[in-house]
Structure 1
C-alpha cells in the first residue's frame, strides 16, 4: 500500500510539473521540442544524466556487480570517456544548433552529408530502435509494481503509460527536463540512503561481508571475474558502447536545449562525479551485499531484482522498498519520456514537415507532435504487454545499431574530407556486418560483432570518402571553419570544392 500511495503522489507531481511547464512554453517547434533552447544549466545537466539512466540500468548495475564482480567497476572508465564526449561533441553540436536551428540528429546528418536519403535512414532507424526501449521501460515498471505491491501487470503498465503520455504531451521538452531534474534528485537520494542503510543493517562488519561474498562467488574480487568475462576485447566493446551514447537520439537532441555555453563547462566536471556517485553504490550492493545475503547461485535475472529482497531483510524495509521502486520509477520515466519526445521530434521534423506538409505552421507542428506522442505510447505499450519478445529482439541490436552513427558523427565534426558516399557506405556496411556477425557467424575470432561492425564502418567511411568527390567548400565552411572560428577566434582555410547535391 505504501508503494502504491507513493507512486500515485509522485505521478501527480510529474503531471503537475507538465501542466506548469505548458504555461511557460511557446507553442512553436522549438518551444515544444527544445524548450525554446533556453533550459537552464541545472535542468540541462540533470536531463542529460538521467536520460541515460533507465530501469534496465538501475537493476542491471546491481546484477552486473553480482554476476561479474569488481571488473564491473570498469564501467567507470566509460563514464570519464563519455563525459569527454559530452563536452567536446555536445558543445560543437550546441553551436551548430544555435547557428542553424538544428533540432534532431537527422538535421545534422542530412545537412552535413547533404543527403535526404541519409536523413531519412537516420531518423527512421533511430525511431525503430528507440521504440522498444519505451515499451520495455513501461512493461518493466508494470512488473516492478506487481512485485512491490501486487498491482496486476497490465493495470500498472497502462496506468504508468497514461502518466507518461500526459506530462510529455502537455509540457514537451520543458516538462521533460524539469521532471528529469526532480526524478534525478529522488533517484540519487534513494540510492545513497539504500547503500548506507543496507551496510549498517548487516550483522557483520564490512571486511567480513566482503570475505563471505567472495566465498559465495569465487573470483568476485579479482579479474576477469567469476564468469571470466572482462578482457581487453570486452573493455573495448564497453568503451564503444558507452561512448556511443552521444548518438542516442534523446541525448543528441539534448545538446540543442541549453541556454548558454557555460552549461558545458559545468557538465565537464559534474557529469563524471555524479555518475560515480550513482553507479558505484549500486555496484557495491551487487558485489558485496547480494552474495553475502543470498549466496552465489542466483540467476542473472534474480540478481538484478534481488535488491528488493535485500531491502525486505531489514527493519523498516517496506518504507525503503517503496523508495527503491520510486528510484526505479524515476529512472524509467526519465528515459522513457526523453525517448518518447525524441521520437515525436524526429517524426515531426524529419518526416512530416519535410515530406508530408512542407508548409506546416507552428500550430500544425505542435499538434502533430502531440498526436505522434499518443501513437508512440499506444504502440509501445501494446508491444510491451503482448509481444515483449519482439521488443527484446529489437533491443538486442538497438545500442550497437545506434553506435553505427558514431563514426559519421565524429567524422562529420572533425574530418573535413568525410562525404556523403563515405557516411552512407560506412553506416549501412557496419550495420550489415553487425547482423552477419550476430546472427550468422557470431563473434568470429572471439571479437564481438560490435567491434567488427565499427572496424567495417570506419574503414568504409574513410576509404569511400577518399575515393569519391570531396564535400563542397560551403559544407566545410558551415561545419568546420565557422565552428573553428567560434571556438578559437580564428578562421582556418577551407578545404574541398565539390558542389552540394541533395541525394
Structure 2
C-alpha cells in the first residue's frame, strides 16, 4: 500500500533539505571536540528538553505504541505511565548531579570517561568495557532505525527498500557529520515540535469526526469493553477484537518497568551533560515531562481512534498512524503528520550515531592512541567515525529483520547495565570501581540471559520483562562489590564547586 502524492513528496523533501541545511549552518560553530560531542555545553533549557525527548521516543512513538493500543486497548498504556514516571525521575535525580560531576571529571564528554574519572580507574578497563557496550549496542540500534526509516519510505512512496534506506542514511550522516551535537540538538527541536503537533492533531481530528470522546467510547465499548479497561488486554486478529483476558500483576509491573531504563540510556543522559547551566534544569524538566505526557497520550489515542475510525481492521496494527493519516486528512496535512514519524525515527538514530562516534573517538582513539590529540584532530576523527559507524549500521540494516531481535531488549540492556551504576555514582560516596564494573557486567549479562532462558521454562515461564531482573541483579552486584571490594575514590565528589553543591542544585 502506498500513499504517494505530490504534496507528501514536497513536504518530505523540504524536511530532509532543512536537516542538511542545519548541518551546514552549525558547521562553523563546531570547532572543538567538546562542540562536536556536547555542543560546548551550551544548550538552553528548551533545546535540551526537546532534544532529550526526541532522542528518547523514536519511531516507536508513532508505530509501536499506537499499534499496541490498537491491538489490546488502553491496558497497553501502562508502558506510557512507566515512561512518564521514568522521565520525571531522570530529570529530577540524575540531571543536576550528572551535569556537575561530568564537568568535575575533567569536563568528560562521554559516560565512559566520567566513570573512569569518578572511580579513579587507572587501568582503563572500566572505560573500555562501558564504551564497548555503548558502541556495539548503539551501532545495532542505528541499524534498526535505518530499517524503520527505509520501511517508512517504502510504505509511503513505494519503490525499493535499499534506495529508501540509502536516502534516509545519507541525509542523517550529512548533518551529523557537519554539525555534530549542535546540529543534532537543533534538528531535534524542530522534530520534537513536529512530533508534538502530530501526536495532538491526528487523534483530535479523528475524535472530532467521530463526534467527540463520548462517541469514541461508545464505539469502543460496543466492540468489547476490554478496550476501555486498564486492567484488561483485548484480543485482536485481522477480523476484529474480542474480550481477551485480564492483565496480570506481572504484566503491569513489566510494562511499568520500562521507566527504569531511563537512568542508563547514554543518548538521553548526554543531554543532561550538555545543558549550559544547572540553573536551567528545573525549566528543562517541566518542558521535557510536559512534552512526554502530551505525545504519549496522543499516540495512545491514535490507537483507539484507529479502532473506531478505520474502515477495515489492519493486518499490521503498527501501521495505524499511517492509515489514519491517509484516510482522515488531506495530503498536505498527511505529509506533515507522516514527516513526524520520520522525525521520530531519525531523532533517535542520529543521537545513537553521535554517541557511538564520540565513544570511539574519546574512549579508544584519544585514550589509547593519541592522548595529546588536538581539538582539530579529534573533530576530524569524530567525523570519520560517524561515517564508519553509519556504514557498519547500513550494512547490518541491509540484512533485514535479524537486527530487530537483538534491539528488542537493547533498552533493557542499557537500563540494567548503566542505570544502577549511574545512580550509585551520583549518590553513594562509598561506591568503588569494582562495584561499577560488577553492575555494568551483571546488568547486561542478566538481560541477555533472561531473554533467552525465560521462554524455555515452559509452564514455569515468568513473563517478567528482562529489565526487572537485570536492574535488581546489577544493583545487588554494585552494592556488594562497592561495599566489600576495593577502596572508595580519594577525591571528595560531594563538596562544593563554584559555590554550588549538588544538594543545592536538587532544590530546583
Give the alignment's TM-score, normalised by structure 2.
0.88
SS at structure 1 position matched to 2:409: helix
Structure 1 CA distance for aligned equivalents of residues 180 and 383 of structure 2? 9
Equivalent residue for 1:497?
none
Structure 1 residues 412-421 or 234-243, which shifts more?
234-243
- The reply to whether residue 486 of structure 1 matches residue 493 of structure 2 is no
Q: Deviations over 1:16-62 (max 9, x none)?
A: 1111111223x111121111111222211111111112112221121
Q: How far did residue 217 of structure 1 move?
A: 4.4
Structure 2: any 5+ residue segments left out of the alignment? 1-5, 235-243
User: Is the counterpart of residue 12 in structure 1 residue 17 in structure 2?
Assistant: yes
Q: Give the SS at the match of 1:284.
A: helix
| Structure-2 residue corresponding to 1:425 | 438
- In the TM superposition, what whole-angstrom CA distance separates every residue of 1:105-129 from its partner, at most 9, and x where no partner exists? 1012222233321211111101111
Q: Residues 80 and 375 from structure 1, CA distance in 2 versus in 1: closer, same or farther, beyond 3 angstroms?
A: same
- What residue in structure 2 maps to residue 450 of structure 1? 467
1:410 to 423, 431, 436: 423
Match of 2:185 in 1: 177
> SS where residue 225 of structure 1 aligns?
strand
Match of 1:156 among 149, 158, 164: 164
What residue number does 1:459 align with? 476
Alignment of 1:147-226 (within 5 A): 147-202=155-210, 204-222=211-229, 223-226=231-234
Change in Cα spacing, 1:225 to 1:117, as seen in structure 2 (3 Å) is same
Give the conservation status (yes or no) of the 8 Å contact 1:54–1:335. Answer: yes
* 3-state DSSP of counterpart to 1:255: helix
Task: Report runs of 4+ in structure 1 exceeding 4 Å deviation.
Answer: 227-230, 294-299, 443-446, 482-485
Q: Which residue of the partner structure matches residue 371 of structure 2?
A: 358
**For the Cα contact (< 8 Å) 1:64–1:72, is it kept in 2?**
yes
Aligned to 1:270: 287
Question: What does residue 50 of structure 2 align with?
Answer: 46
How much has 1:446 moved relative to structure 2?
4.5
1:430 Cα offset (Å)? 3.0
TM-score (norm 1): 0.89
Tell me, which stretches of 5 or more residues in structure 1 are unaligned? 491-503
User: C-alpha offsets along residues 64-97 of structure 1, whole Å, 9 cap, x if unaligned?
Assistant: 2223322233322431332122232111111122
Q: Which residue of 2 aligns with 1:436?
A: 449
Which of 388, 396, 400 is the equivalent residue of 2:400?
388
The offset of 1:293, in angstroms, is 3.4
- Residue equivalent to 2:238: none
- Looking at structure 2, the residues matched to 24 and 428 of structure 1 have their Cα atoms a distance apart, in angstroms, of 38
Shift of 1:276: 1.4
Instruction: Supply the RMSD in Å over aligned alpha carbons.
Output: 2.3
Map Cα deviations across residues 206-254 of structure 1 (whole Å, 9 max, x no partner). 3233222233345111113225474433343334422322321211222
User: Is the aligned partner of 1:141 residue 2:149?
Assistant: yes
Deviation per residue, 1:263-296 (Å, 9 max, x gap): 2010232222111111111101212x12223589
Matched, 1:56 2:66: no
1-structure distance, mates of 2:246, 2:359: 37
1:123 aligns with 2:136: no
Separation of aligned partners in 2, 1:315 and 1:360: 54
Match of 2:308 in 1: 292
What is the rounded CA distance, in whole Å, between the counterparts of 1:119 and 1:240 in structure 2?
Answer: 27
The count of aligned residue pairs is: 480
Q: Which moved more, 1:242-251 or 1:272-281?
A: 242-251
Q: Given the superposition, is the C-alpha separation of residues 164 and 52 from structure 1 closer, same or farther in structure 2, using an over 3 Å criterion?
A: same
> Retained in 2: the 8 A contact 1:194–1:320?
no
Distance 2:63 2:72 in 1: 14
**Partners of 1:448 and 1:185 in 2: how far apart?**
31
Instruction: Name the CA distance, whole Å, in 1 between partners of 2:253 and 2:13.
Output: 42
Partners of 2:494 and 2:501 within 8 A in 1: no
Structure 2 SS opposite 1:473: coil
| Paired residues of 2:443 and 2:474 also in contact (CA < 8 A) | yes
User: Does 2:321 align with 1:307?
Assistant: yes
Displacement after TM superposition at 1:350 (Å) = 0.7
